[in-house]
Amino acid sequence: MIQGGCRCGEVRYTLPFDEMPRVYCCHCLDCQTWSASAFTQQVIFAEGSLVANGPIVIFDLVRADGAVSRQHVCGVCHTRIFNTNTKRPGIAALRAGTLDRSNEIVPVAHIWVKRKQPWIIVPEDVPQFEENAPPAKFASILIGYEA
């Protein structure tokens, strides 16, 4: 099991991974603004496989295209734990910086690098994409699944 939690400690969660899951970074403007930082670190997982204790509250953002991005955050300190999107039913994106072992993260891909801050140098052997990665390619990188 992999564990994590929010900044204040009220929310704790587990995910059914045997080892550290694969993390990707998104450098898009939305992720920069939403994280108030340079990029987000995310792990894709099956919605429902995360088991959380504590006061998780939900904030919905209706996007311009009508899709709803649902943020699951700690109700006390407002750390964002994960989100879902009505465009991708059954799939959730964890904020990997909330993992207890976040110091072990070595991202396996970077997306939206056309918007990345220039001081960030992506290692040459790590796949990077100007915008979103093609879905089949992205799946093979994140879960080793060849479409």
Helix (H) or strand (E) segment spanning residue 26: strand 24-26
Closest CA to 73 of 110, 37, 34: 34
Q: Provide, rounded to whole angstroms, the least separation between the CB of residue 73 and Zn ion.
A: 8
Closest to Zn ion by CB, 18 vs 45, is 45
Closest to Zn ion by CB, 23 vs 31, is 31
Rg (the chain; Cα; Å): 15
Closest to Zn ion by CB, 52 vs 74, is 74
Q: Provide, rounded to whole angstroms, the least separation between the CB of residue 47 and Zn ion.
A: 19
Q: Provide, rounded to whole angstroms, the least separation between the CB of residue 30 and Zn ion.
A: 5
Closest CA to 95 of 105, 143, 126: 105
Would you tell me which residues interact with Zn ion (CB under 5 A)?
Answer: 6, 8, 10, 26, 28, 31, 74, 76-77
Instruction: Please state, in angstroms and rounded to a whole number, the distance separating the CA atoms of residues 112 and 46.
Output: 23
Closest to Zn ion by CB, 19 vs 51, is 51
Residue written as token pair 């891909």: 109
Q: Provide, rounded to whole angstroms, the least separation between the CB of residue 147 and Zn ion.
A: 22
